[in-house]
């Protein structure tokens, strides 16, 4: 509950529970549906998000995320990299790999949903859920890390966009003094796009930097946000990822690649500097993913970023 409140404070959206005073909101009410393996967020007759939380061998993920016109931009478990699960968060913990799914990979185990909520503020609806997960070493079933994950999504009609807000709070389990995060240069909050978006797309970022070459066409660049514009089954879309200024190691080091497929990940530079989480200080990370139909200019992306960080300014 506290993690959901912290997200909605950031967005300044959670003040009236299930309010429907606004005509547009009343005509397009948001709702959350929970099935055996999937939890979904809807607005009116449209689906905004599908989250796969059960019947997954290694990690829950946002399996589908839709633009305002109903275009899904995510791809789950493609044949070339079965461990790419749409929009997922994964790193190595105490040497156990939670990203790749081979050689005894770690498992993020769904425990329960502790909150689902629909709120509204100033005519903008938001709906989401809070999930408790255990990060487990499969070799000995040792609990390495506990995560409280809150995901919320809202249709931003004024910006003609869909915004997903992701917050994860990581804590060391009782009886354990610390946990160390490490991994490859692409570990973090990663996004695999539709197959049709793998070619002909363009990455850009808030700083206008090309970034440092890691290998081939892979790059790392630090910026407030990073965006990708491409064709999704013949329809142009723009997807942007934001890193919150309160995040450790801000501005976010973004990993991008375009060949042989497109990929975007918000990283922590763990390949250069592993990160220790101690029992007295949980790690909180906040990100957003925004989807537009068509190409949008940097100015519009910056406006939404500023609204997300300082919504009172709008």
The model's pLDDT over 216-257, given as tens digits with 9 standing for 90+, comes to 999 999 999 999 999 999 999 999 999 999 999 999 999 999
- Read off the pTM: 0.90
Q: What is the SS3 assignment for 180? A: strand
Percent helix, strand and coil across the chain, each to the nearest 5 = 10, 50, 35
- Domains within the chain, CATH numbers bracketed: 2-313 (2.70.98)
pLDDT number for residue 19:
32
pLDDT above 70 (res 179): yes
Calculate what percentage of the chain has a pLDDT beyond 90.
84
User: What contacts 130, CB < 8 A, 6 or more positions away?
Assistant: 1, 3, 4, 113, 114, 115, 116, 148, 149, 150
pLDDT band at 5 (very low <50, low <70, confident <90, very high): very low
Structure tokens at 16: 């009236």
The top-scoring range by mean pLDDT among 123-132, 164-173, 305-314 is: 164-173
Structure tokens at 72: 């899904």
pLDDT number for residue 120:
67
pLDDT band at 310 (very low <50, low <70, confident <90, very high): confident
Using alpha carbons only, what angle is made at residue 41 by residues 224 and 202, rounded to the nearest 5 degrees?
Answer: 35
The model's pLDDT over 123-167, given as tens digits with 9 standing for 90+, comes to 678 999 999 999 999 999 999 999 999 999 999 999 999 999 999
pLDDT number for residue 14:
34
pLDDT number for residue 103:
85
Going 295 to 298 to 154 to 48, the CA torsion angle's sign is: positive
Task: Say what angle helices 2-11 and 298-309 make with each other, to 10 degrees.
Answer: 130
Quote the mean pLDDT of the chain: 90
Cβ atoms of 299 and 208 closer than 8 Å: no
d(CA 13, CA 15): 6
pLDDT number for residue 138:
93
């Amino acid at each position: 509950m506290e993690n959901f409140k912290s997200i909605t404070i950031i967005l300044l959206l959670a003040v009236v529970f299930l309010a429907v005073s606004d005509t547009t909101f009343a005509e397009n009410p948001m709702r959350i549906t929970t099935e055996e393996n999937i939890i979904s967020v809807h607005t009116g007759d449209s689906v905004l998000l599908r989250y796969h939380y059960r019947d997954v061998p290694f990690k829950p993920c946002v399996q589908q995320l839709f633009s305002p016109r109903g275009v899904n931009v995510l791809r789950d478990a493609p044949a070339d990299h079965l461990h790419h699960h749409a929009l997922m968060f994964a790193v190595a913990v105490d040497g156990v790999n939670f990203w790749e799914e081979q050689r005894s990979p770690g498992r993020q185990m769904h425990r329960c949903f502790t909150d689902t909520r629909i709120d509204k503020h100033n005519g903008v609806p938001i709906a989401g859920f809070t999930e408790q997960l255990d990060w487990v070493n499969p070799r000995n079933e040792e609990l390495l890390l506990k995560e409280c994950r809150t995901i919320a999504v809202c249709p931003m009609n004024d910006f003609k966009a869909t915004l997903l807000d992701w917050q994860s709070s990581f804590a060391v389990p009782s009886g354990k003094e610390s946990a160390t995060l490490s991994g490859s240069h692409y570990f973090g909050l990663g996004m695999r796009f539709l197959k049709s978006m793998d070619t002909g797309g363009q990455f850009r970022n808030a700083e206008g930097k090309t970034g440092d070459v890691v290998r081939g066409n892979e790059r790392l660049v630090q910026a407030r946000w990073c965006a990708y514009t491409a064709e999704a089954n013949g329809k142009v879309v723009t997807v942007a990822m934001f890193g919150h200024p309160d995040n450790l190691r801000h501005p976010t080091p973004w990993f991008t690649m375009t060949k042989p497929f497109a990929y975007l990940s918000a990283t922590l530079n763990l390949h250069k500097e592993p990160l220790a989480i101690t029992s007295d200080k949980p790690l909180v990370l906040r990100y957003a993913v925004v989807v537009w139909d068509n190409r949008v200019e940097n100015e519009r992306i910056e406006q939404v970023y500023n609204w997300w960080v300082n919504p009172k300014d709008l």
